[in-house]
Amino acid sequence: MPSIGKTMLWTTFLCLLMASSSGGAPLNGATGARSKVLLISFDGFRWDYDRDVDTPNLDAMAMDGVKAAYVTPPFITITSPTHFTLLTGKYVENHGVIHNMWFNTTTQERKPYYMTQFVNEWWDNGSLPIWITAQRQGRKAGSLHFPGTASSYQGERAMVSEVEPRFYNYSNETAWRESVDKVMGQWFGAQDLDFVSMYFGEPDATGHRHGPDSPERRAMVRQVDRTVGYIRDSARRHDLADRLDIIITADHGMRTVLRNGLVNEIILSQIPGFTFKDLSFHLVDFGPVGMLLPKEGRLEKVYNALKGAHPNLHVYKREEMPERLHYANNPRILPLLLISDPGYVINGYVPLQFNKGEHGFDNEDMDMKPFFRAVGPSFRQNLEVGPFETVNVYPLMCHLLGIKPEPNDGHLDATRHMLVSSDDRGTTVSESAVSHVFIGLAAVSGFLVVVFVLATSRAAYRKRKAIKR
Ligand SMILES: *[C@@H]1O[C@H](CO)[C@@H](O)[C@H](O)[C@H]1NC(C)=O
Ligand SMILES: *[C@@H]1O[C@H](CO)[C@@H](O)[C@H](O)[C@H]1NC(C)=O
Ligand SMILES: *[C@@H]1O[C@H](CO)[C@@H](O)[C@H](O)[C@H]1NC(C)=O
Ligand SMILES: *[C@@H]1O[C@H](CO)[C@@H](O)[C@H](O)[C@H]1NC(C)=O
Ligand SMILES: [Zn+2]
């Protein structure tokens, strides 16, 4: 039976080919597991803030999930740049949100943090935050008070969003709970969103005002801890706990400022040979980093005057910036950068900064490191992991959502060990791959049965014919 034999072999071969290729292909173009994801930032929550305060809810979360020793934010360690790194997975020089403040070096205009939220071109500078990428791939995204929420990106914005009013009180625990219930009940619940980013302005405000070692900061950490308990209760009440992965982190840490005669303060106007008249624009008096635009032809003069003028002030031309800071390769970064040592701030004419706590320092300073916690169906339990950079949070979230990330500076390999292996989960690609292979094999065996029946009946027919003959 040469003809049937050949057909059978070919068909079997084709079936196996189809089965293996459909089994290996990602589900709906997805790249990973799929769950709902809530990203929460508690502004300025330093990695070690749970060490001198009782934090029963954060401790319970660590038992049920993953706790990192600390995470490393990108430089410059201030709110808008570091939050945009969480949303894009890019270092600051690569996403373009290089400061909390928008500025124009020609007109001398400067806009503070809140007003900069509404400068669309500042945020929409070529990088897509995860909301847009998720929505383009069929997921639904929302954002509450998270830096960058007010802006649109290539004409698109998060489909559900809430931007806080001007002069908002970022510390009100009752308002925090109302926001949590809205996100759980309405956004994840009724509106079935897949991703939400949520922002709380504490313990940053209290850390600035009273310093990171103050009883006020410890009280605020207790408020954050109560809120973490409230968030997880709310997820359970709305029947989300087994579908929702919760990541809680922060944008930067906080450090006690040294002043009041304790140290030799950095005051630029007192440095011999330096004058503001040589500058056409400057951004100083905003903590430990300053940026200067010298007038035409005066860069070397300004640089030489400042370089080495104060033992705790580091002066760089943009192109000399240490590469590890990833804060040079962007036209918005001005040609001269001033960075003070941890604890020092940079003053222009006279000291104008009276915060007891500050951030913005080198991201290698341990006081600049935020905390990181995660809990939910995708995460292992009771696992403490080592530190990693916050550029890696974005590819992790894309993996959890099952979406393909935009090009970024992070990698899933930095966090993969936190995840339960895909066999332990309900709906994962590898399980669906197994089922594809199974369906393929079933089809092949079915076909083989048919061929076998045909072949044996034909053989029997021939046999009968032969007997007749
Ligand atoms: C700054 O202002 C000048 C003058 O109005 C304008 O030409 C320029 O485009 C502005 N630059 C930015 C970055 O907004
Ligand atoms: C980013 O902003 C700079 C000006 O600040 C502008 O020159 C550049 O074209 C912008 N890039 C994109 C992709 O929007
Ligand atoms: C913000 O609200 C809290 C009450 O939750 C209050 O204690 C605090 O004084 C308010 N802060 C400001 C700056 O109004
Ligand atoms: C705190 O928020 C609640 C709920 O939004 C509001 O009723 C209350 O007036 C706020 N308290 C303060 C001090 O702002
Ligand atoms: Zn911040």
Q: Is the pLDDT of residue 435 over 60?
A: no
Residues 374 and 330 in one domain: no
**Contact yes or no for 292/346 (Cβ under 8 A):** no
Residue 106, strand partner residues: none
Residues 435 and 297 in one domain: no
- State the residue for tokens 């309405």: 186
Average pLDDT over residues 211-222: 98
pLDDT recorded at residue 422: 58
Pocket test for ligand 4, best of 145, 171, 174 (most atoms within 8 A of CB): 174
In a domain, 199, yes or no: yes
- Of the listed ligands, the closest to the CA of 177 is 4
Residues 157 and 85 in one domain: yes
In a domain, 148, yes or no: yes
Strand spans (E) along 296-414: 313-317, 336-340, 346-347, 357-358, 372-375, 383-385, 388-389
pLDDT recorded at residue 23: 33
Check which CATH number belongs to the domain holding 297 and give it. Answer: 3.30.1360.180
Residues 211 and 343 in one domain: no
Kindly report the pTM of this predicted structure.
0.86
The most confident of the ranges 4-18, 24-38, 295-309 is 295-309
**Which atom of ligand 4 lies at the shortest distance from residue 169's CA?**
14
| Number of separate domains in the chain | 3
Q: Is the pLDDT of residue 437 over 60?
A: no
Cβ–ligand 3 distance for 285 under 6 Å, the answer no
Sort 86 into a burial class: Cβ within 10 Å, 0-12 / 13-18 / 19+. Answer: buried
In a domain, 278, yes or no: yes
In a domain, 232, yes or no: yes
**Contact yes or no for 130/397 (Cβ under 8 A):** yes
Q: Quote the domain boundaries for residue 327.
A: 266-354
Enumerate the active-site residues.
79
Residues 111 and 140 in one domain: yes
Ligand 1: distance of its center to the CA of 106 in Å?
6
Instruction: Please give the residue that has the higher pLDDT: either 385 or 423.
Output: 385
Residues 319 and 376 in one domain: no
Q: Could you report the per-residue pLDDT of 176-197, keeping only the tens digit for each? A: 999 999 999 999 999 999 999 9
**Contact yes or no for 250/256 (Cβ under 8 A):** no
Sort 280 into a burial class: Cβ within 10 Å, 0-12 / 13-18 / 19+. Answer: middle
Tell me the three state secondary structure of residue 145. Answer: coil
In a domain, 261, yes or no: no
Show which of 354, 376, 396 is a domain's final residue: 354
pLDDT recorded at residue 11: 45
- Of the listed ligands, the closest to the CA of 43 is 5
pLDDT recorded at residue 13: 42
Q: Is the pLDDT of residue 440 over 90?
A: no
- Residue 423's identity, in one-letter code, is D
Cβ–ligand 2 distance for 142 under 6 Å, the answer no
- Determine which of 272-276, 304-308, 453-457 has the lowest per-residue pLDDT on average: 453-457
Q: Could you report the per-residue pLDDT of 338-378, keeping only the tens digit for each? A: 999 999 999 999 888 889 999 999 999 999 999 999 999 99
Average pLDDT over residues 257-273: 91
Residue 247, strand partner residues: 39, 374
**Contact yes or no for 248/373 (Cβ under 8 A):** yes
Residues 79 and 208 in one domain: yes
Percent of the chain with pLDDT over 70: 83
Q: Is the pLDDT of residue 297 over 90?
A: yes
- Distance of alpha carbon 225 from alpha carbon 22, whole angstroms: 47
- Of the listed ligands, the closest to the CA of 220 is 3
Ligand 2: distance of its center to the CA of 107 in Å?
18
What is the distance between the terminal CA atoms of the chain, rounded to a whole angstrom? 19
Check which CATH number belongs to the domain holding 178 and give it. Answer: 3.40.720.10
pLDDT recorded at residue 75: 98
Residues 102 and 240 in one domain: yes
Q: Could you report the per-residue pLDDT of 109-167, keeping only the tens digit for each? A: 999 999 999 999 999 999 999 999 999 999 999 999 999 999 999 999 999 999 999 99
Residues 50 and 175 in one domain: yes
Residues 323 and 402 in one domain: no
**Which atom of ligand 1 lies at the shortest distance from residue 104's CA?**
1
Cβ–ligand 3 distance for 381 under 6 Å, the answer no
Q: For residue 260, what pLDDT band results from cuts at 50, 70 and 90?
A: confident
Angle between the N-to-C axes of helices 393-401 and 79-88, in degrees from 0 to 180, rounded to the nearest 10: 40
Ligand 5: distance of its center to the CA of 79 in Å?
4
Q: Is the pLDDT of residue 310 over 50?
A: yes
pLDDT mean across residues, the chain = 88
- Residue 21's identity, in one-letter code, is S
- Distance of alpha carbon 81 from alpha carbon 87, whole angstroms: 10
In a domain, 385, yes or no: yes
- Residue 455's identity, in one-letter code, is A
Q: Which protein residue has the closest C-alpha to ligand 2 atom 14? A: 125
Residues 205 and 120 in one domain: yes
pLDDT recorded at residue 356: 96
- Distance of alpha carbon 37 from alpha carbon 398, whole angstroms: 9
In a domain, 31, yes or no: no
